[in-house]
Amino acid sequence: MSAPRNTILGMLLARRSQRDNLKTLCGMIGLALALVLLFTALFFVLMQLEGRDHSLVSGFYWTTTVMTTLGFGDITFIGDVGRAFSIVVMITGMLFQSVILPFVFIHFLWTPWVESHRLARIPRQVGDEVSEQVLLTQGGAQVAVLLRRLAARGVAAWVRNPDEADTAVRHDRGEQVLAGQADDPAVWRAAGVERATLAVCNRSDAENALAVLTLREVAGAITVVATADDPAMADVLRRAGADLVVQPHALVGTAMALRARAGIRQGLLGTLGELSVATLSAAALRAHGQTLEQLDLPARHGIQVLAIWERGRSLPATNTHRLDQDDTLVIAGTASAIAALGEAQGDPGHVIVAGAGRVARAASLALRDRGAAVTVLAPLPPPWLDGIPCVTGLGTDAAALERAGLAQAAALLVTTHDDALNTVITLRARLLRTDLEIVARAEGEVNVSSLYRAGADLVISRPSLVANAIFNALRRGQVMLVAEGLFAVRVPVPAVLAGQRLRDTHLRQDTGLSVVALEPSALVIPEAVLAPGGHLILAGPEEAVDRWYARFHPQAEVPATGSTLHRILPFLRTRR
């Protein structure tokens, strides 16, 4: 029977480092015993040279007293050789005492005692007073954005961690963590899964499948979101019981393809309720030098301009803004209005996709579906090309970029999983073409600003996109990441605002969000009345969205028949 891990004996045996320390200690003790035997034998030899005889016990007695530096002085050598031997034995004993005693105290008394107390403080259950919490099976950098957004929007979140030592470290840092395995029903019950509103299985695909099955066993009503790195695992996870399967690589690749202008007049980003959100190229619109007031898109086409994206900067859609040919308009309107605006669509340009992974695959296929001419630039031809041209070479190599058609390309998508490499590719491409549209991928949120400084026109952050997809599963409104730093959100009309005129709500001043549309359909005019049970569609930066949630605390909505999460983005799929 194994020792409990929160006892000292458990600490000695549970971790490999402690077991290695125990082996080291046994080796030291064995060496010490061997030296005692050796020194005792030499003691008899030297004493006989001096003409004296001692018993075996006296030999052990002398060796141990000298090695421990007690030195009672009742047995001593007379000659210089014996005294030199005594010095050697004494120094050897001092060295062993200075090594063995601290080693034993630190590694086998102090450290296990501290660890046992740390592990005893680890939370293993969520209090009954907590409800509507979100439970995750893994923490780390990839979910840091999600945890920050949940906290800013008033949603409690707990991360399950199977490693008790790591859980203790994270708990000491102030993180909300729980110890336990995700495939243990008792662990989920201790986490209050019956009171939770969402469970996120975000470890490996196989672990996620097991966790989903366990969740369905203990709490059939909870909404379960699972991530899938392998596209083939999506159906398996849905079969296990996941309500929503998020494929991060497909998510990022498709988002990059949708946001690249690439000579295309407009591209649909997604839907929020009855509203479609799309990008519109100012150059394709032949609006160079015109102001938004002169374009008058709301009156002519029924289209609202949410923001203007200009070389990595999100600019407010003011009537006096004069458009440049490199500007991209983020627009919102009905599906018919968006489609009508795109009837005069120009010919898609040539796009280079740098990379050979799953993000590159998703981006290439999405671009081909949009009608763009795609060329993949990769060190080796990937197996998924399916007729897409490929140029072998490195994205950091100017010659390889030229062979891929950089001189005529409308856009470059930088899709590798290495942010440092993506930065270098962006710098190289910007040196070769100052007018090239560059859309880059970022694995770390901290590297987004560096990629913009390197010359990227748009950066797509994987943690941000995944966090958005998971947050939308809460059904506390729909949040769409239009571009890094710019969000559109569809939320229920708060009860405190129902029946008020739009001008009296002061939403822009209080939250920083602009009202884009009202549901049921109503003109966005100051005299418009917010209907009880209706919805608002708003746009603004992330901190403004956080202020809205912190102020109005929208509750989870029951989805209407036929209204499922897949309306948010086409590469998310709900449970069948």
We report the CATH number of the domain holding residue 187 as 3.40.50.720
* Backbone angles phi and psi of 516, in degrees to 5: -100, -40
DSSP labels, 315-354: EE--TTPBP-TT-EEEEEE-HHHHHHHTTTPPPP-EEEEE
Q: Return left, alpha or beta for 371; rule: phi > 0 is left, psi -120 to 50 is alpha, else beta.
A: left
| 414 in the same domain as 358 | yes
Within a domain: residue 331?
A: no
Within a domain: residue 257?
A: no
| 162 in the same domain as 220 | yes
Our count of domains for the chain comes to: 4
**SS3 call for 307:** strand
Q: Are 411 and 260 in contact (CB under 8 A)?
A: yes
- The pLDDT mean for the chain works out to 83
| DSSP designation for 263 | T
pLDDT at 288 over 70: yes
HSE (CB half, 13 Å, CA atoms) of 399?
2
Within a domain: residue 324?
A: no
pLDDT at 344 over 80: no
Q: Which among 40-49, 202-211, 316-325, 328-337 has the top mean pLDDT?
A: 202-211
Strands 304-310 and 328-333: antiparallel
| 197 in the same domain as 169 | yes
Within a domain: residue 319?
A: no
What confidence tier does 13 reach under pLDDT thresholds 50, 70, 90? low
CA distances from 201 to 35, 153, 168 (A): 57, 21, 21
| 239 in the same domain as 152 | yes
| 363 in the same domain as 427 | yes
Supply the pLDDT for residue 123: 79
| 174 in the same domain as 107 | no
**With helix as H, strand as E and coil as C, how does 197-211 read?**
CEEEECCCHHHHHHH
* CATH code at position 508: 3.30.70.1450
Helix-, strand-, coil-residue percentages of the chain, each rounded to 5: 45, 20, 35
pLDDT tens for 411-445 read 999 999 999 999 999 999 999 999 898 999 999 88
What confidence tier does 567 reach under pLDDT thresholds 50, 70, 90? very low
Radius of gyration of the chain (CA): 34
Angle at 573 (CA atoms; ends 569, 574), nearest 5 degrees: 120
Supply the pLDDT for residue 334: 81
Tokens of 532: 């009880």
Supply the pLDDT for residue 180: 85
Of 246, 261, 280, the residue at which a domain comes to its end is: 246
Supply the pLDDT for residue 573: 36
Instruction: State how far Cα 305 lies from the chain centre.
Output: 31
| 241 in the same domain as 140 | yes
| 187 in the same domain as 164 | yes
pLDDT at 48 over 50: yes
pLDDT tens for 53-70 read 888 888 889 998 988 888
Strands 478-483 and 458-461: unpaired
pLDDT at 38 over 70: yes
Q: Which residue segment(s) compose the domain that 52 sits in? A: 8-120
Within a domain: residue 303?
A: no
Query: Bridge-partner residues for 517, per DSSP?
Result: 537
**SS3 call for 277:** strand
CA distances from 31 to 24, 26, 28, 86, 92 (A): 11, 9, 5, 19, 11
Within a domain: residue 564?
A: no
What confidence tier does 278 reach under pLDDT thresholds 50, 70, 90? confident
pLDDT at 566 over 50: no
pLDDT at 2 over 50: no
Supply the pLDDT for residue 6: 47
pTM > 0.85: yes or no: no
pLDDT tens for 97-155 read 887 778 777 776 677 777 777 767 777 888 888 888 999 998 877 788 899 888 888 88
Residue type, 255: A
